[in-house]
Structure 1
Amino acid sequence: MSGRVVVVGGGVIGLSVAYHLAEAGVGTVLLERGTLGSGASRATADVLRAYFAGDPVSSALAVRSLDAYRDFATRPGARLPMRQVGYLVLFTDADQVAAFEADLPAQRAVGVDVELIDARRARRLNPLIGGDLPLLAAAWSPQAYVSDTAAIVDGYAQGARMAGVRIRTGCPALAVHDGRVETPGGTITADAVVCAAGAWSAPLARSAGVDLPLPEPVTQELLVTDPLEALPELPITLDAASRLLVRLRGDRLLIGMGYPDNDRAAWRAGVAAQLAVTYPSLSGVRLHTAVTGARDASPDRTAFIGHRPGPPAFLYAAGFSGHGLCNAPAAGELVRDLYLGREPWLDTATLAVTREGVG
């Protein structure tokens, strides 16, 4: 079997890459080891936001991606729910405020709408914040939405198929050698291979001679509360110190706080304890697992996007560290442009594996 480009990975990143390549007239085959969206794309909070503190590169990807999501009904042609709720980051330490202020010019330069607000306004935006929490200030960005990851995956998959992408699920890529992708069903040859395999990216890239400095995959777990009465409208809210993230999900709260270690019971107890500190009215509420999934996290939490020129070429889009949903449309555009030799809209040296501090 042969094709111009083989994309490995059927999550939101790989599907975006395949869609953008096929839309540009490139013959594309996509391989997915399981079902579409069954990796990191299965364990998201369904959040689309623009502001990534201390990471203006990820913010630039997210701002461009938000524009694409707003146009999703046109390209790729699927209705996409987007409920604007805003994003609030709570600062309880003066160093957090100073870091925000130092980062602010770079964030605004890439199009992020974000400002520093006082504790009183933050509590108006999220009235669940405890009165005893030593809240100094908060970052507020209205550019944040609750969406539907499954709808994004399905929309890109339908758009990709209509553009001519051949999608093969249940077909893991075992290795890549000189444009040949080894699968359990045989070898697929291509002019280029794109590695967008999420948590399985590092060994696959290594077989192609590219070192993606990704640590061992981590398991993301999101929790959900029992139904709660009379919940107010809330922004997506992150406590900067503990990394406790909450958002409304119907009559419940969806909750994340970093990555569980081997002692999941202890991690869940820690989440419950922090929830009671930040939001005392929720003390004692029962928590349940909402979703889990394997996630690829880069050392500096910024994605790797780049290429080794061919023929055959090898391209990669991995290490999104939970930002993949927010970055997917822009990532697909960058991989397409790298393959076609176009001038990309962003300097991809800031995303390459050779960038400073990650080798």
Structure 2
Amino acid sequence: MTAPAAADVAVIGAGVIGAACAWRLAERGLKVLVVEQGRPAGGSTGKSAAGVRAQFTTLTNILLSRHSIEEYASMPESGYHPGGYLLLVPDTQWTAHQEAVKLQRQLGVPTEQLTPAQAQAHATFDPGGLGGCTYCGTDGYVDAHGLTMAYVARARQAGARFQLDTAVTGIRRAAGVWQLRTTAGAVEAPLLVNAGGAWAGEVGDLAGLTIPVRPARRMVFTTGPLSLPRPLPMIFDLGSGVWLRSEGERVILGRADPADVGWREGMDWTWLEPTLEAAMARFPWLAEATLDRRASWWGYYEVTPDHQAIVGRLPGADGWLNACGFSGHGVMQAAAVARVIAQEVMGEPPFIDVTPLNSDRFARVPAATADIQV
């Protein structure tokens, strides 16, 4: 019989979260083994629209994103592009949104408050029903695949090993270690990091643990080439849920379908009409655009009941840490989350308090407040 592969920490998943965690753990001198069912960034990460923003409403999310963006800005491989995020806020949400802006500024995020008329300098849109707009020029997007591969390279250089195209088929705790059964053989490690993305709930199931993460399909529609007066920042219309931004000469856009949950595959072209209807109400110029079906794509969000991530140790499961359930925020927050996970493993106080993202919150009443999802 072949002896199990031994490590100090087994990381399940090599998306941007798992790859970043592997690097931060390995640089601490820990023996790290990453098990990935496919290839790095082959799941939700590679299908992401790759937006990064610090315009959140809660302290923890603001800090996780701000510190992550700062790290991406220092990494040429990340493809960080500070094209800005423009949020279009309805009248009914404007008062609360202004409080969020105050918090963002207190935490070092240079968010601007704009009238709808002032925001037209960034994009042309119908201002009907808006109470105001906010813009942050350090928000933008990254190359999610390039970023992940940079973390993989750094992790390997620090000594981490990657078992790719390897599925985990069983997990149990025995003799003080997590024993993983995989398609490439057994793995043993006293510590396990669940960075399984949309599959994180199923990773928990393998160990008999409840991790409330499920997949939700998302569509990204791509236009043909457009002649626009200027590139569009990432724009999110909080009222309709429509988002869009420039991608070269084209525009990519989407809108979450709350009913599209579970392991559904392929493009849902029936969702195109309601998405375009909502989009054209705010951006009438889209009526002149063509659609490039071949350049459009779909992927999975990993969502939790409150659409917030699950980060940190799992009560009642010794040596199990979660870094999952980001609900569209994984690329935005991977860098900072990896530092937090490494600090928790080493027994150090995390540089950002992630208590609001601990899994035991689901036993509390009321549930944690949801944040902006795009």
Pick the aligned partner of 2:58 from 47, 52, 55.
55
Tell me the amino acid that sits aligned with residue 103 of structure 2. A
2:296 to 290, 293, 296: 290
> Aligned equivalents of 1:298 and 1:56: distance in 2?
19
Any conservation in 2 of the 1:219–1:260 contact (CA below 8 Å)?
no
Cα root mean square deviation, aligned:
2.1
The equivalent residue for 1:36 is 40
Written as runs of structure 1 = structure 2, the 5 A alignment for 1:1-359 is: 1-52=5-56, 54-73=57-76, 79-91=77-89, 93-126=90-123, 128-130=124-126, 133-178=128-173, 179-214=178-213, 216-259=214-257, 261=259, 264-283=268-287, 285-287=289-291, 288=293, 290-308=296-314, 313-355=319-361, 356=364, 357-358=366-367
Per-residue CA deviations over 1:168-203 (Å, capped at 9, x if unaligned) read 111111232111111123221012111000111112
Contact 2:232–2:246, Cα closer than 8 Å, also in 1: yes
Name the SS of the counterpart of 1:204 in structure 2.
Answer: helix
TM, length-normalised to structure 2: 0.87
Partner-residue secondary structure (3-state), 1:174: strand
- In the superposition, relative to structure 1, how do residues 332 and 156 fare at CA in structure 2: closer, same or farther (>3 Å)? same
Equivalent residue pairs, number: 349
How big is the shift at 1:6? 0.6
Check whether the contact 1:223–1:290 (CA below 8 A) recurs between aligned residues.
yes
* SS of residue paired to 1:321: coil
SS in 1 for 2:190: strand
Kept in 1: contact 2:12–2:196 (CA 8 A): yes
1: CA distance, partners of 2:272 / 2:59 = 31
Deviations 1:219-276 (A, max 9, x none): 1221110111244222211101111111110100011211474593331101111221
Between the aligned partners of 1:303 and 1:168, the Cα distance in structure 2 is 25
2:19 and 2:74 mapped to 1: Cα distance? Answer: 17
Instruction: Give, in whole Å, the separation in 1 of the partners of 2:6 and 2:51.
Output: 37
CA–CA separation in structure 2 for the residues paired with 1:333 and 1:210: 25
Percent of matched pairs sharing the same residue: 26
Contact kept? 2:12, 2:193, Cα under 8 Å? yes
d(CA) in 2 for partners of 1:311, 1:279: 49
Structure 1 Cα separation of the partners of residues 297 and 10 of structure 2: 29
1:309 positional shift? 7.4
The aligned counterpart of 2:371 is: none
Letter in 2 for 1:237: I
TM-score, normalised with respect to structure 1: 0.91
Tell me, in whole angstroms, the C-alpha distance in 1 between the residues paired with 2:58 and 2:307. 8
Alpha carbons of structure 1 residues 229 and 328: separation in structure 2 relative to 1, 3 Å: same
CA-CA distance at 1:312 after TM superposition: 5.5
Q: Which position in structure 2 is the counterpart of 1:76? A: none
Secondary structure of 1:283's counterpart equals helix
Distance change >3 Å, CA 250–CA 119, structure 1 → 2: same
After TM superposition, give the deviation of residue 147 of structure 1 in Å: 2.0
Pair 281,309 (structure 1): closer, same or farther in 2 beyond 3 Å: closer
Alignment gaps of 5+ in structure 2: 261-266, 369-374
- Matching residue's letter, 1:159: R
Rounded Cα–Cα distance in structure 2 between residues aligned with 1:310 and 1:303: 19
Please report how far the alpha carbon of residue 209 of structure 1 lies from its aligned counterpart in structure 2 after TM superposition.
Answer: 4.7
CA contact (8 A) 1:51 1:143 kept: no
